[in-house]
């Protein structure tokens, strides 16, 4: 993950707040509540914003895995373990695994999901977030290391795996679609090698714009329930 994205992906960033609030809405809808006794893994945790949000909300302990040790060490004052080698991940151990904005960085996404399912107990949950709608794939996606964006149908193809049950698959961020279009247009005029500028224009916002986007977040979460489109896709899977 590019350093510019990591620096912008803090707990106050509109998108990180929006993603988390949608997650909480989804968990509430499915009557899923994390408990202190649960074994939880944030796979591809990055700078740890999601883990911090979850630990703060539910008072749980979360193991954090990222193969980039320098990024992993950005995680401070954590309740769980920091893990940067896959062989250190225990098998048949976790009650919940969060795979947020990781799958789209992998060409063999189906194999990644299979590998993660090996880490999970029977009747455990895998919760995934990915960018949606490949029609909006742009230089921004390339700059942050994406190889694809997903629709519900394309996601179902990569999750045609035994021993799991798809609970639900939801789009979110429908009110962000105009900004996704503008980002694609804007990045078209930037040189591909100028990743820092592309990411700054596509993800970083000033305080005023951040507040406006957070207002849109509140409107969407209050008014929309089952969106037919969105800038992201969040999925709940259960291991049988």
SS3 string of the chain? CCHHHHHHCCCCCHHHHHHHHHHHHHHHHCCCCCCCCCCEEEECCCCCHHHHHHHHHHCCCEEEECCCHHHHCCCCCCCCCEECCHHHCCCCCEEEEEEECCHHHCCCHHHHHHHHHCCEEEEEEEEEEEEECHHHCCHHHHHCCCCCCECHHHHHHHCCCCCEEEEEEEEECHHHHHHHHHHHHHHHCCCCCCHHHHHHHHHCCCHHHHHHHHHHHHHHHHHCCCECCCCEEEEEEEEC
pLDDT of 72 over the 80 cut: yes
pLDDT of 63 over the 90 cut: yes
pLDDT of 36 over the 80 cut: yes
Q: For the residues 173-187, what does the mean pLDDT come to?
A: 94
pLDDT band at 163 (very low <50, low <70, confident <90, very high): confident
pLDDT band at 14 (very low <50, low <70, confident <90, very high): very high
Distance separating alpha carbons of residues 116 and 91, to the nearest angstrom: 9
Query: Considering the chain, what is the average pLDDT of its residues?
Result: 94
Cα 227–142–82 angle (5° rounding)? 80
* Least confident range of 3-12, 132-141, 217-226: 3-12
Q: What is the largest CA-CA distance in the chain?
A: 51
pLDDT of 1 over the 80 cut: no
Do 11 and 53 meet the contact criterion of CB atoms below 8 Å apart?
yes
Rg of the Cα trace of the chain?
17
| pLDDT value at residue 2 | 66
Q: Give me the phi and psi of 149, to 5 degrees please.
A: -120, 160
Mind listing the pLDDT tens digit for each residue in 88-120? 999 999 999 999 999 999 999 999 999 999 999
Do 90 and 41 meet the contact criterion of CB atoms below 8 Å apart?
no
Q: Give me the phi and psi of 74, to 5 degrees please.
A: -70, -15
């Amino acid at each position: 993950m590019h350093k510019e994205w990591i620096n912008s992906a803090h707990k106050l960033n509109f998108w990180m707040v929006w993603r988390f609030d949608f997650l909480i809405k989804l968990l509430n809808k499915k009557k899923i509540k994390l408990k202190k006794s649960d074994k939880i893994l944030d796979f591809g945790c990055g700078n740890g914003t999601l883990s911090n949000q979850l630990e703060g909300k539910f008072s749980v302990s979360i193991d954090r895995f990222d193969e980039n040790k320098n990024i992993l060490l950005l995680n401070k004052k954590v309740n769980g373990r920091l893990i940067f080698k896959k062989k250190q991940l225990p098998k048949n151990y976790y009650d919940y695994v969060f795979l947020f904005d990781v799958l789209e960085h992998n060409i063999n996404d189906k194999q990644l999901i299979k590998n993660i399912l090996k880490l999970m107990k029977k009747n455990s949950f895998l919760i995934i977030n990915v960018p949606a709608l490949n029609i909006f794939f742009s230089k921004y996606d390339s700059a942050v290391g994406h190889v694809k964006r997903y629709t519900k149908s394309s996601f179902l193809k990569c999750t045609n795996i035994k021993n799991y049950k798809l609970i639900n698959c939801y789009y979110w961020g429908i009110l962000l679609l105009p900004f996704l279009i503008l980002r694609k247009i804007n990045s078209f005029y930037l040189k591909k090698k100028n990743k820092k500028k592309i990411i700054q224009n596509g993800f970083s916002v000033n305080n005023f714009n951040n507040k406006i986007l957070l207002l849109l977040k509140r409107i969407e979460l209050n008014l929309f329930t089952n969106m037919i489109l969105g800038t992201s896709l969040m999925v709940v899977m259960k291991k049988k």
